[in-house]
Structure 1
Amino acid sequence: MPEYDPHAITVEQAQAIIGLCIQPLHFTEQLPLRQALGRVLAEDIISTMNVPAHDNSAMDGFAFRGADLPAGQDRQLRIVGTALAGRAYQGQINQGECIRITTGAVMPVDCDTVVPQELITASSDSHVTIPGGKLRAGDNRRLKGEDLVMGKTVISKGRILKPADLGLLASLAIAEVAVQRRLRVAFFSTGDELRSLGEALDEGCVYDSNRYTLFGMLTRLGCEVIDMGVVKDNPDALEAGLRQACESADAIITSGGVSAGAADYTREVMAKLGQVAFWSVAMRPGRPLAFGQIASNGKSAYLFGLPGNPVAVMVSFYFFARQALYRLMGADVPALPLIPIAAAETIRKRPGRTEFQRGILASTENGELRVSVTGSQGSGILRSMSEANCMIVLQHDQTTVLPGEKVHVLLFDGLL
């Protein structure tokens, strides 16, 4: 890549490098339809039938020939039978005749139009009057294959199956589907100062919050999570932890230990076990961010070394790991869109780095959308992520934004 410097690359360069390195895994399993919700489809679904299988009525009313539509005046038709959903009318329908029909009932071959019950101006057991000028030939008829056409791709592989997809598959009598197996992701925190919940909090120590946010984000992503706890700031302990994670997972996420401090060993151990593509990104928060691939005992795994500060962990995951893990699991998920929104206040920014500020998107009294920051943007203020409903993305060369000027906003997609 032009001007590539692993010591400090731009956000766009880092995302491009990850995209070039990550290749989808191909491990599939067959699942019953009800167990496939949220899983990544491994094969294209081809329709084996037309849905609907026949032309049918979209309304409760009366089916008749479109040629019998009155030009401008009402017209009386003779009722010769009834068609119900699941019970087709078998007779012939001649000019000036019609049948009662319910929603979903098969349309007789002689009919192409349905007048809804509520438009009828007069009716009896034997005759019905349809209004003039209210209908066109073909109205209120669902065509054969209108929903699904036999032989056509219904759902493409790579889709994360949603409730509507399950219904669509069921309409084709598909009882089970091939899906990608769940992506296995191991994660742990590094730091002698970290304590797990339930442990005593010694002076100078803090409870480890990163593993809980990572657990939540990975779970919502649909991954099989492997929580490896806290690893001490020790190169031997870190190497052992990374080897264990590599041998049991497809990807590894660590938090902490990627800065240039005396007790930060992640980059060093990564280089010993594999390759480090980069380890610093021109962004705030989250500048110390390592990405690479390691190997142990014949197995390999991609590794994301995230910063230790809680907000930086979530920002780094959202803008780098999220899309990479989707790609790794074979999911066809587009990058989240950036939406231009006017700033409600002055937002401080200096050029030379991309900044991700926590934002609150709200409507004004006039119904216009405006975005403001949550307050102090320190990377250790976890409360700000809980309060925010979006991220304000200030581009690399952007400077301070004034009220009313547009900024790019990324809405939280149910991940945080």
Structure 2
Amino acid sequence: MRPVYSAPCYGALLSPRRFPQTATIFLSVLRAFPSMSTPTSPTSSTPRAPMLSTSDALATLLGAANAVAGAETLPTFDALNRVLAADVVSPLDVPPMNTSAMDGYAVRIADLTQGERRLPVSQRIPAGHAPQPLAAGTAARIFTGATVPPGADAIVIQEQTELAGDTVTILHLPKAGEWITAQGADIRSGSVILPAGTRLTPQALGLAASVGCAELSVMRRVKVAVFFTGDELTMPGEPLKPGAIYNSNRYTLRGLLEKLGCEVTDYGIVPDQLDATRATLREAAQGHDLILTSGGVSVGEEDHVKPAVEAEGRLSMWQIAMKPGKPLAFGAVRRAEGETFFIGLPGNPVSTFVTFLLFVRPFVLRLSGVRVVTPRALSLRADFTQSKADRRNEFLRARINPAGGLDLFPNQSSAVLTSTVWGDGLIDNPPNHVISAGETVHFIPFSELLN
């Protein structure tokens, strides 16, 4: 079987060994963006850049992104999906005492080794109640999660005992520590349980609560301005004129940004006019960390985003060796103090969706303070054969079938949005590679890219 990754692709950046090769790219970013807080003068039109690999484009974006300034303190209940601004350090051991892992009887092993297996039950210990020291020659009835009484060194589960009135017969000789969860077995006092930069999941909130955190310090939300270009765009609920289409990208991008926890300002549909585009950019640059647009980033006569951004700031117009989503624009727009990042996405619905997941998502997460932004990928079997290779890095919509392999959506056009709903994720297929049935491919689930 031929190697799956014979050429640079998005997956190449999943390994830390990829980063040394992008050092020159990071340097070029620093030169292009010496300070995101210092006003700069307008630059002349940027010459068209050569086609970039997806890994180099992503490295450039991440090299320019720094976490936004500012944090706030929220009740732990309200911190879901926010990003920690500071480490969460446990002030206590968890559990804070030795506890019973099962319902049963707390015993002294020494009593049992002396041959006596019938013991009087001296106390009953439910969870949440403080026990008395275990008297020699007795057993204590104990329940899951309850504190092990001082003097006891093992728990015998109730299935290995026989109770007769106030006396229990122990049918099993336990080992020291059997069915006892030791103090600090989960968390030690003073340990970092959630590092800064962690995006807070429901289980992370539970972990913070388990050490008594009622409040958490989180990064402020990333502020994103978004607008859409194209005179052909019509909002759902309005009649379609000849040549018009409904603006699906507005719903897709807003949903994706809100899922990332962004504070979104929607400037709607901007007319295909240079002056209107420039005016919207100037307004959007104020008070936002990022301006995100859809459409108008190509070089046609009606594509005004590129000249508008160049007039209001600076722009790197990229042709990325990927399919779908070849055009991508990255730069900054001047504001009263400093600059606001700008990313321009292509207008085709699937191209917009894919380029957002692969480039905008990690960029926004890095602005949010998240340190690990790489989606985890799976190695799965392809249950299809491609008819031909593409010279670009392909991102194919596919889904997992009942046999554990991958089926390919039959129409991979960048205009077919149904493929993104039908599919479970993207196959990262390197340039010039034809996938054959039975081959192991690199699959990035939407569950990772939409997390």
TM-score by length of 2: 0.85
The alpha-carbon distance between structure 1 residues 115 and 205, as it changes in their structure 2 partners (threshold 3 A), is: same
The alpha-carbon distance between structure 1 residues 189 and 349, as it changes in their structure 2 partners (threshold 3 A), is: farther
Q: Partner of 1:363: helix, strand, or coil?
A: coil
Aligned to 1:128: 168
Does residue 437 of structure 2 align to residue 403 of structure 1?
yes
After superposing on structure 2, the runs of 4+ consecutive aligned residues of structure 1 that deviate more than 4 Å are 1-5
Q: 1:219 aligns with which of 248, 255, 258?
A: 258
Does residue 276 of structure 2 align to residue 234 of structure 1?
no
CA RMSD of superposed structures (Å):
2.1
Q: Return 5+ residue gaps in structure 2 as ranges.
A: 1-21, 29-47
Once the two structures are superposed, the pairs formed by residues 17-416 of structure 1 within 5 Å of their partners are 17-70=60-113, 75-94=117-136, 96-120=137-161, 122-132=162-172, 135-364=174-403, 369-396=404-431, 398-413=432-447, 415=450
Equivalent residues, number: 407
In the TM superposition, what is the alpha-carbon distance from 1:271 to its structure 2 partner?
2.2
Letter in 2 for 1:128: V
Query: How far apart are the structure 2 equivalents of 1:192 and 1:31?
Result: 43
Q: Partner of 1:303: helix, strand, or coil?
A: strand
In the TM superposition, what is the alpha-carbon distance from 1:197 to its structure 2 partner?
2.4
Query: How far apart are the structure 2 equivalents of 1:354 and 1:77?
Result: 73
The structure with the largest helix share of the pair is: 2
In the TM superposition, what is the alpha-carbon distance from 1:119 to its structure 2 partner?
1.6
Query: How far apart are the structure 1 equivalents of 2:110 and 2:193?
Result: 35
Query: How far apart are the structure 1 equivalents of 2:269 and 2:104?
Result: 68
Q: Return 5+ residue gaps in structure 1 as ranges.
A: none
Does structure 1 retain, via aligned residues, the 8 Å contact 2:73–2:217?
yes
Name the % identity: 38
Does structure 2 retain, via aligned residues, the 8 Å contact 1:348–1:399?
no
Query: How far apart are the structure 1 equivalents of 2:260 and 2:68?
Result: 16
The alpha-carbon distance between structure 1 residues 23 and 199, as it changes in their structure 2 partners (threshold 3 A), is: same
After superposition, the C-alpha distances for 1:81-125 in whole angstroms (9 at most, x for unaligned) are 22232322324421x3221112222212211111111221x2223
After superposition, the C-alpha distances for 1:306-342 in whole angstroms (9 at most, x for unaligned) are 0000000000001111111000010233411232222
In the TM superposition, what is the alpha-carbon distance from 1:70 to its structure 2 partner?
4.9
Q: Partner of 1:93: helix, strand, or coil?
A: coil
Does structure 1 retain, via aligned residues, the 8 Å contact 2:248–2:349?
yes
Letter in 1 for 2:167: H
Query: How far apart are the structure 1 equivalents of 2:351 and 2:415?
Result: 8
After superposition, the C-alpha distances for 1:277-327 in whole angstroms (9 at most, x for unaligned) are 342101111111111222222242211100000000000001111111000
After superposition, the C-alpha distances for 1:227-272 in whole angstroms (9 at most, x for unaligned) are 1111111111111111111113211110111112111122222222
Query: How far apart are the structure 2 equivalents of 1:400 and 1:358?
Result: 15
In the TM superposition, what is the alpha-carbon distance from 1:410 to its structure 2 partner?
0.9
Q: Partner of 2:58: helix, strand, or coil?
A: helix
TM-score by length of 1: 0.92
